[in-house]
Each structure stands twice: as structure tokens, then as C-alpha cells.
Amino acid sequence: MKLYDWKNGIDKNELNDIVNSLNNEGLIVFPTETVYGIGTDALNEHAVKKIYEAKGRPSDNPLIVHVSDMNMLLKCVKNISDIEQKLIDNFMPGPFTLILEKSEIIPYAVTANLNTVAIRMPSNEIANKIIKSFGKPIAAPSANISGKPSGTRIDDIKEELQNKVDFFIDGGNTDIGLESTVVKVIKNIPTILRPGAITPEDIERIAGCVNIDKHVMNEVLSNEIVESPGMKHKHYSPKTKCILIDIKDDSRRIQTINKYLDEDVCVIGKSKDKTKIKTDKFIDMGDNLAEISKNIFTLLRKADSLNCNLIIIESVEPEGIGLAIMNRLIRTCGYNVIR
């Protein structure tokens, strides 16, 4: 395993090493604008299976295929509708994934045996340069062991993945901190399967309407088929049990949290509540949604490192990117929510 530091720029010789590794079924950890990804050649079924093995990822959980430009995207899919093209034109490159009918070049190992494929065009310079230099799409889920919080900085994921990949590329902390918005157009209406930084409001402005899949805030049953990562199975979770406190009334919320503090409890809470919550194990998530989005996975890992009996997490308003934050926190807590 090698680590390349590209925080101050892309090294051309090291880039050649990365491309050579990908050409030989290697696995790389690289930054995107959302979270770090663990990637390999999306067109090589054997290489793709290595991702599932490295992460311990269930085989019915599809991967996202990352492309560098529209030409590469068109080789991976077929039958793009007018509304799908409009979404591509407005949100790619960026933190946006679209479910489309796959072309023959995409192996079923990538799509969990579905005829659709999740496609994304990252805006992060490092990610885009790697894909463009490789000349082929890269399949890449989030860089973490399945079930754990996603990685938004190399230090959070290096230890758990160091014996499972060939290269780490350190591009610094990711900008957004939550995985991309995943959308499928159903009956000509964009439907959000996984919320992210591209919000329902953003999509509605472009398409005129938007639906939100019922599973965004509710559990997927074990026998249900999903087309988006992050919908099924345990996700984003520390080892420690977590409870989400989703109470709007300030005094009742604080009172509920303080009831738990007889145990060995860590609290991930808002800055404004810090002085009201009676614990010395308080982790400040901030009050700004963009700040919370960027840092929440790192804070979950920090809370886990305290080895408490329980982690209490305060909810946020599910508006704008707050919907994506709540989606992740509900899954972090295994749907264990006090309202």
C-alpha cells in the first residue's frame, strides 16, 4: 500500500502509477467532492468483485460508476430521456448520481444484477483527472468498511483499509461530507432514492416536480430490491449503539437527553445546546447544516473512539441538505429514534 499526498497538486508520475494499478485490477482510495471512494476498473468484473471483498459489502448493494465526461457516460448507458438529459446538463459534474439503463459494457457485478446503473460525474479535480487519465469509468462506493461511517478524510479510513487497497490518494478533507444525491426518473418524474447536496428544491427548480422515495426516511425490508447504494443494509454506523433525538421543543429535547446521562453516554449535539446538556462527553456538531454535513461522519468516528455505552445524537430540520443529514442519522441509529 502506498499513500500519495496530492493536497497541493497532482503529481504526474504518481498519476501514472495510479493508472497502471487500475489497469492491473488494483484498488485505489481517492477523494471526491462528497466523500472518499474506493475504486477500480468498472468494466472489469473480477476487479469490481475485489471492492465487495475489501469492504465486506453485500452483493445486492449496487455500486456507482464514475465517469469523467459526457462521452464516457454515453458509453455506459442507453435510452436517455429528455428529462434525464436535463438533469445531466444541470447537475453533472457534481454531487449527483442518476439511475439509467445500463449498456452492455457494464458488468452485472457493478449493478447487483440489475439492468440499471448508477452514474456520476465528479467535479473534484483529482477524481476527474484520474478517470480521464485512465480512460475508462471507475466503479467506486464510499471508502469504508461496509456499515461504518463513510470517509471524509484519509486519517479516518486509512487504518481500516490499509491492507485492502493498493493506493491511498490524500486530497484533504472532502468539501460536502455526504454521499451524492441519487435520482431515478419514474414516469417522467425525478425521484430521490438517496438525498444529498443536490436538494429536492434544486431538482424541482429544474424539472418542475420531484418525488422522494418512501425509503429515504424509512427502512428497506430485507426482501426488497434497491437500485441505489445507501438504501439497504446497515449504514453509517459506529460500533457503539446510537439513539437519535428528534424532538423540536427545546426544553423537552434537552430534558430527554439529560435523562440518559446517568449512563456512560456521549452526546453529538448542536452548539447552542452545549451548556444545557450535562456531560463532559459532548461533541459539538455546530449549528450550520453545511458544517454538520461536512463533519458528521468524522464526529461519529470520534464518538465511537470514546468507548461509551451509548451515543445520543440531536436531529436537524429535514430541509435542504438537512434531509440528507437526517437520512444518514436515522440509518446511523438503526431507526432508533425518539420523537
pLDDT of 233 over the 70 cut: no
Distance CA 3, CA 139 (A): 20
Report CA dihedral (122, 55, 184, 197) to the nearest 10 degrees.
Answer: -50
pLDDT of 44 over the 80 cut: yes
Domain 2-216 in this protein, CATH class: alpha beta
* Closest CA relative to residue 241, chosen from 334, 110, 142: 334
Pairing type for strands 242-245 and 310-314 reads parallel
Contact 179, 196 (CB under 8 A): yes
* pLDDT for position 245: 98
- Domains 2-216 and 242-338 fall in the same CATH topology: no
pLDDT of 249 over the 90 cut: yes
Per-residue pLDDT band for 284 (boundaries 50, 70, 90) equals very high
Q: How many CB atoms lie within 10 A of CB 60?
A: 14
* pLDDT for position 20: 98
How confident is the prediction for the chain on average, in pLDDT?
94
* Closest CA relative to residue 137, chosen from 145, 128, 146: 128
* Closest CA relative to residue 39, chosen from 153, 164, 147: 164
* pLDDT for position 227: 76
* pLDDT for position 221: 73
Domain boundaries, the chain: 2-216, 242-338
Work out the average pLDDT over 23-47. 98
Distance CA 282, CA 66 (A): 38
CATH of 242-338, one of 3.40.50.11030, 3.40.190.10, 3.40.630.30, 2.40.40.20: 3.40.50.11030
Contact 32, 93 (CB under 8 A): no
Per-residue pLDDT band for 219 (boundaries 50, 70, 90) equals confident
Work out the average pLDDT over 120-137. 98
Least confident range of 69-73, 130-134, 145-149, 243-247: 145-149
Per-residue pLDDT band for 232 (boundaries 50, 70, 90) equals low
Contacts of 54 (CB under 8 A, 6+ apart): 27, 38, 161, 164, 165
Q: How many CB atoms lie within 10 A of CB 227?
A: 18
Distance CA 166, CA 151 (A): 17
Distance CA 273, CA 149 (A): 24
* pLDDT for position 192: 97
* pLDDT for position 123: 98
pLDDT of 139 over the 70 cut: yes
Per-residue pLDDT band for 234 (boundaries 50, 70, 90) equals low
* pLDDT for position 187: 96
pLDDT of 43 over the 70 cut: yes
Exposure class string for 290-317: b at 16+ Cβ within 10 A, else e: eebbbbbbbbbbebbeeebebbbbbbbe
* pLDDT for position 296: 96
Residue whose grid cell is 474506493 = 38
- 106-117: pLDDT as tens digits: 999 999 999 999
| H or E, element range at 106 | none
Residue 212, phi then psi, degrees to nearest 5: -120, 120
* pLDDT for position 185: 98
